[in-house]
């Protein structure tokens, strides 16, 4: 079988779809990835992920991809998809993320692709609570386009049960052709022992951290809806009380988004000695490894189980998230972390203090996180469920 996976960029395939590719490659299936190239917008990674895809035996077909709405860029993207899909006789097309779910599904159906699968891992900032006219208009258009694409697709995979139930309840999607799983993490690749001591010591040295510093880490794009302000505010609160607690924020700027955090805001706060913004990093495991706690105070429309939490859990870390239904399923409150109110800097700082000042609790919560990730979010188990639904 000749299978195409269409997604935003090669970074997404390498970091989020390794097990999916592995299981799809069984029975001599040939896998093609149609995506943008991570690094073409400034990150120094161009070619890095392509080399990994080549080592997996995947044929990568690059395509120009723009994350946000643009009539001209979207039309070019649709035309490029049409040419690629027309020139290849795919048996199955798997679409990941909004534009692929909508545009590729329609194009694939027009070209007569035998089977089309949509993967919805979250609806994004457009579906977050926002009342401005532009956002409401785009959300309205997207709902109509989702209705069309989901009618044309054969299978639809959701990881957020609230989005799943909402789409069915509002008649946007047929329950019979859809299925729900949790999100997943590679519990072997993200494990408490995966990073050696020398790498951890080198990173601490590079960041000018002391051996007795306590580290709170957050990994996300620099979007306000991810809770960046609340994280920075918490660092400011802690600076007045605990000079040995450091806050490390990891992730790229969200250029092009109306919700983007300005670089000047991040740089200004780096003047404080307990806050570090690193920008994008290819390998985040070492940051998890040196941390004592991971947080994601998001009110973004996540896919139910954000990677910035499940990865930290797999590495045996306590976690904190908002009580948003779109991310709170990762936490058993008081067992592996805490829920905090949305947009509450004081609530986040208070929850961090409860954990970071209690060594016994940190250890207990971390062990529970690891076990919960093994029991509920193991990549191999969940992808097996997915494969059984789409093949």
Residue 306 belongs to some domain of the structure: yes
- Mean pLDDT for 267-283 is 93
Q: What is this structure's pTM?
A: 0.92
Check residue 40 and give its pLDDT.
Answer: 44
Residue 70 belongs to some domain of the structure: yes
Specify whether 174 is located in the same domain as 25.
yes
Residue 386 belongs to some domain of the structure: no
- Mean pLDDT for 78-102 is 97
First CA to last CA distance, the chain? 10
Please say which residue of 147, 180, 213 terminates a domain: 180
Specify whether 171 is located in the same domain as 214.
no
Find the domain containing 275 and state its range: 197-376
Residue 249 has pLDDT above 50, yes or no: yes
Specify whether 135 is located in the same domain as 102.
yes
Specify whether 220 is located in the same domain as 366.
yes
Specify whether 150 is located in the same domain as 19.
yes
**Which two structure tokens, joined as six digits, stand for 85?**
């899909």
- For residue 185, which of 52, 24, 306 has the smallest C-alpha distance? 306
Least confident of 18-27, 113-122, 128-137, 158-167: 128-137
pLDDT digit string (tens) for 188-240?
999 999 999 999 999 999 999 999 999 999 999 999 999 999 999 999 999 98
Specify whether 12 is located in the same domain as 51.
yes
Q: What is the dihedral of CA 375, 309, 117, 391, to 10 degrees?
A: -20
Check residue 122 and give its pLDDT.
Answer: 86
Specify whether 23 is located in the same domain as 68.
yes
Phi-psi region of 257 (alpha: psi -120 to 50; beta: other; left: phi over 0): beta
Residue 108 belongs to some domain of the structure: yes
Residue 15 belongs to some domain of the structure: yes
Specify whether 211 is located in the same domain as 175.
no
**Separation of alpha carbons 273 and 290, rounded Å:** 18
| CATH label of the domain that carries residue 38 | 3.40.50.2000
Check residue 130 and give its pLDDT.
Answer: 67
Q: Looking at the 3D structure of the chain, how many domains does it have?
A: 2
- Mean pLDDT for 347-367 is 98
Specify whether 151 is located in the same domain as 272.
no
pLDDT digit string (tens) for 103-149?
999 999 999 999 999 999 988 877 877 667 888 888 899 999 999 99
The interaxial angle of helices 307-314 and 359-376, nearest 10 deg, is 110
């Amino acid at each position: 079988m000749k299978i195409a996976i269409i997604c935003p960029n090669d970074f997404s395939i390498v970091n989020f779809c390794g097990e999916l590719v592995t299981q799809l490659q069984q029975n001599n299936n040939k896998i093609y990835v149609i995506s943008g190239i991570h690094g073409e917008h400034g990150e120094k990674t161009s070619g890095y992920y392509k080399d990994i895809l080549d080592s997996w035996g995947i044929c990568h077909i690059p395509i120009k991809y723009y994350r946000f709405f643009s009539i001209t860029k979207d039309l070019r993207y649709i035309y490029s998809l049409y040419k690629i899909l027309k020139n290849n006789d795919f048996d199955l097309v798997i679409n990941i993320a909004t534009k692929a779910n909508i545009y590729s599904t329609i194009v694939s159906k027009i070209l007569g692709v035998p089977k089309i699968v949509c993967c919805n891992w979250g609806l994004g900032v457009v579906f977050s609570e926002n009342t401005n006219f532009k956002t409401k208009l785009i959300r309205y258009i997207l709902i109509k386009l989702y209705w069309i694409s989901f009618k044309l697709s054969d299978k639809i995979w959701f990881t957020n049960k609230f989005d799943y139930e909402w789409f069915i309840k509002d008649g946007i999607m047929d329950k019979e052709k859809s299925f729900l799983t949790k999100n997943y993490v590679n519990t072997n690749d993200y494990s408490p022992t995966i990073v050696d001591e020398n790498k951890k010591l080198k990173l601490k040295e590079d960041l000018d951290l002391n051996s007795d510093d306590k580290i709170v880490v957050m990994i996300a794009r620099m979007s306000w809806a991810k809770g960046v302000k609340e994280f920075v505010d918490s660092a400011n609160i802690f600076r007045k009380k605990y000079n040995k607690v450091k806050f490390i924020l990891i992730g790229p700027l969200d250029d092009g988004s109306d919700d983007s955090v300005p670089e000047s805001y991040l740089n200004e706060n780096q003047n404080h000695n307990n806050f570090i913004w690193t920008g994008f990093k290819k390998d985040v495991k070492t940051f998890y490894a040196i941390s004592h706690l991971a947080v994601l105070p998001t009110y973004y429309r996540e896919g139910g189980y954000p990677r910035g939490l499940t990865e930290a859990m797999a590495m045996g870390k306590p976690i904190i998230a908002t009580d948003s239904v779109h991310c709170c399923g990762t936490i058993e409150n008081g067992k592996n972390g805490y829920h905090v109110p949305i947009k509450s800097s004081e609530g986040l700082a208070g929850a961090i203090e409860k954990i970071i000042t209690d060594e016994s609790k940190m250890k207990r919560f971390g062990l529970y996180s690891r076990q919960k990730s093994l029991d509920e979010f193991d990549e191999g188990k969940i992808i097996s469920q997915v494969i059984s639904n789409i093949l």
